Amino acid sequence: MQIRPIATTQGWGSIAQQMLDLVGEAFIKEIRQQLASDEPVEGSIQYVSEMDSTTQPASIELRFENTSHAQHLYHRLANDRQLDVYCTLSSSVRSTINQSKPCDTQKEQGIDIYIFNDQSAVELTDERYRRDEPLFFPAMRAISWQKPVLLVGDPDCPTEMNLYRLGYREAIKMPETILYRHYDPNMPLVGYGYADRQFHLTVFNKGQSPRVVSIPDNLLGTGQLVNLRLSSPVSTESMVVSPLGEKPIVNRQVQPVVGEARYPDSLLKQATRQFAVELTGENAKRLLNGQKTDVVKTGDGSIGKLYVLNTPDNGPQLVLQDVQHKLTLKESYLGHTFSDKDKANLHKYGDMGRVAELVDKQSGQKFTGFIGVDKDTKTLTVLRADVIRPKIERMSHLKGVTLNGLQKQRLIEGKAVRLDNMTSKAGTAFSAYVRVSAASRGLRFDHIPNGTPEKNGSKIAPDTSGKHNTD
């Protein structure tokens, strides 16, 4: 496979990606050979690269070190630049391979492959991965699968990482969706993105129409499993091994939603029967998407916001969140004990200013979230961290200002970040402290008066009693 001379950082990233593609193809062949062999795999399967600068242009040799298959592959590079890659299969994977002989494709799902990167690999991939982390190479778990299963919505195991570990990589990147392609052309294409405040998978199987699987934003901390062949969630009590923690995960509550709405339209009729409220337009959309409506007046004169509560015994139930005259804070909320600073921030800013470890009242499951104040009802509300985190991580710019890694991290932690010279919808420049807002389920902008000097940074916002809005 030839590569034309490219001198830019982006070009080197492209070369590195093609290198990884070649390694992946070699691994597939080697794994299949190992499965078909009669000899047990006793040591780690190591795969190394060496630079050969004697050739013109320079080449890199990819070689298996300790297997019976002397497989040599060469990849021509346009420049004599070192790229060190080390691959190994863990002991659990060796056991899986040995148990699978002769070739049993169903057992291949235990295969797990990593490439540990050095500094040159980080540079070649345009610093896409942090230096202290291994460069995760797509695990070949989905190769030849008849039932490839993807873990989605788990805050400890990002869906994007699970796609990579199944053997997928980015093919097309759009503003709200990324299309992933598998090394095996027989595997379905997968689109993954965030729209209308909800995660969606679009699965493209050959010979089938595209299927959309919507992922609820209030999962119980363990995520759910989606069978990519069927474009639907796996049955309850399904087990999966977490890619990061190698811990078994039980998916006990699966709430599949196909299409735009998360809940059935029948809930709109139930709102009319139960509360004498006719929901249309944006309010209907919000309710069916699992969000609170605007303040409505019910048939008995009560005022509040309607939302759907999932109960273990009775399923989705409509609830009216009453409007309070003022915010009343107890000592704890969903398992989190408020500090004096937490209470002060909630009263002053409407957000706590940090993430908290919380407990779902219905399921007892722990999750991480942001606590804020609904200014309309004067009650507390929660935004799950795994809902807003991917959106922030994908941001490269915010209203015309470039975001760096530190600023993103502070936003994810719930802290305020000052950004200057942003551009409003009207085209005017403004400065503001930006923070996650649980009430608006997005970012909030506390505007800074003109003439207040300070560069873009990560300073915590002072008391900002002036104008603010959300995005």
pLDDT at residue 346, as a whole number:
92
Amino acid 108 reads: E
Range of the domain at 352: 326-471
pLDDT at residue 419, as a whole number:
92
pLDDT at residue 273, as a whole number:
87
pLDDT at residue 176, as a whole number:
72
Query: Is 273 in the same domain as 357?
Result: no
C-beta separation of 114 from 87 below 8 A: yes
Query: Is 87 in the same domain as 34?
Result: yes
SS3 at position 64: strand
Sign of the dihedral through C-alpha 343, 346, 349, 351: positive
pLDDT at residue 49, as a whole number:
46
Q: Reply yes or no on whether the pLDDT at 210 is more than 50.
A: yes
C-beta separation of 321 from 307 below 8 A: yes
Query: Is 443 in the same domain as 384?
Result: yes
Query: Is 160 in the same domain as 277?
Result: no
Query: Is 292 in the same domain as 355?
Result: no
pLDDT at residue 439, as a whole number:
82
Q: What is the pLDDT of residues 362-407, one digit of tens each?
A: 777 788 899 999 988 999 988 888 888 888 888 888 998 988 888 8
Query: Is 241 in the same domain as 297?
Result: no
Q: Reply yes or no on whether the pLDDT at 260 is more than 60.
A: no
Amino acid 233 reads: P
Query: Is 355 in the same domain as 444?
Result: yes
Most confident of 31-40, 82-91, 118-127, 291-300: 291-300
Count of CB atoms within 10 A of residue 302's CB? 13
Most confident of 80-84, 104-108, 240-244, 320-324: 320-324
Check residues 119 and 264 and name the one with the higher pLDDT. 264
Mean pLDDT of the chain: 65
* Burial class of 163 by CB neighbour count within 10 A (0 to 12, 13 to 18, 19+): buried
User: What band does 115 get if pLDDT is binned at 50, 70 and 90?
Assistant: very low
Q: What whole-number percentage of the chain has pLDDT above 90?
A: 6
Instruction: Please name the residues in contact with 338: beta carbons below 8 A apart, sequence gap of 6 or more.
Output: 329, 330, 331, 332, 346
Query: Is 171 in the same domain as 83?
Result: no
pLDDT at residue 337, as a whole number:
93
Query: Is 299 in the same domain as 163?
Result: no
pLDDT at residue 223, as a whole number:
66
Query: Is 197 in the same domain as 211?
Result: yes
pTM of the complete model: 0.43
Q: What whole-number percentage of the chain has pLDDT above 70?
A: 52
Domain boundary among 220, 241, 260: 260
Query: Is 150 in the same domain as 41?
Result: no
Q: What is the pLDDT of residues 323-372, one digit of tens each?
A: 888 898 999 999 999 999 999 989 988 888 888 999 887 777 788 899 99
Q: What is the pLDDT of residues 413-468, one digit of tens each?
A: 888 899 999 988 888 899 999 999 888 888 988 888 876 665 554 443 443 333 45
Considering its fold, how many domains does the chain have in total?
4
pLDDT at residue 35, as a whole number:
52
Query: Is 358 in the same domain as 465?
Result: yes
